[in-house]
């Protein structure tokens, strides 16, 4: 795909489905515009973080991905994508970021899950 100099780079944080890990999104980068940087997030007990204690509580998982994203945000444009369990985490992450006074993502993409009933 052709990159135009006026398009800023957008980071797309990808949240895993239950049992998934960062390698679940390894093929995304090859299939999106070069202005989009895919950043899969890894949960403890999975993938590269397999040696860490597994989290089984959604709130604890949301706190973990919040810490990953908050330390990575540098004023760049970003969006969030989550599939299935990752959709819930994406919703919880977005709420945490906004409540922390950070800019909201450009978009929250979710798939494989009904809307939250919180």
Instruction: Summarize pLDDT for 17-28 with one digit per residue, the tens.
Output: 988 888 888 888
- Top CATH class of 10-111 equals alpha beta
pLDDT per position as a tens digit, 62-112: 999 999 999 899 889 999 999 999 999 999 999 999 999 999 999 999 999
Closest CA to 42 of 27, 20, 59: 20
State pTM to two decimals: 0.87
**Domain-wise residue ranges, the chain:** 10-111
Average pLDDT over residues 29-44: 92
Instruction: Identify which of 85, 81, 84, 83 has the alpha carbon closest to the alpha carbon of residue 94.
Output: 81
Query: In the predicted model, is pLDDT for residue 54 greater than 70?
Result: yes
Determine the Cα–Cα distance for residues 78 and 108; give it in Å rounded to an integer: 9
Q: Look over the chain and give the mean of its residue pLDDT values, rounded to a whole number.
A: 89
Phi-psi region of 84 (alpha: psi -120 to 50; beta: other; left: phi over 0): left
User: In which band, very low, low, confident or very high, does the pLDDT at 6 lie, cut at 50, 70 and 90?
Assistant: low
């Amino acid at each position: 795909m052709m990159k135009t100099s006026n398009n800023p780079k957008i980071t797309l944080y990808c949240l895993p489905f239950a049992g998934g890990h960062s390698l679940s999104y390894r093929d995304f980068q090859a299939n999106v515009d070069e202005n989009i940087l895919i950043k899969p997030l890894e949960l403890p007990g999975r993938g590269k973080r397999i040696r860490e204690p597994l989290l089984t509580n959604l709130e604890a998982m949301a706190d973990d991905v919040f810490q990953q994203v908050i330390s990575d945000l540098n004023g760049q444009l970003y969006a969030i994508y989550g599939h299935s369990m990752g959709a819930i985490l994406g919703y919880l992450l977005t709420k945490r970021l906004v409540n922390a006074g950070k800019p909201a993502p450009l978009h929250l993409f979710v798939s494989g899950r009904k809307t939250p009933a919180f």
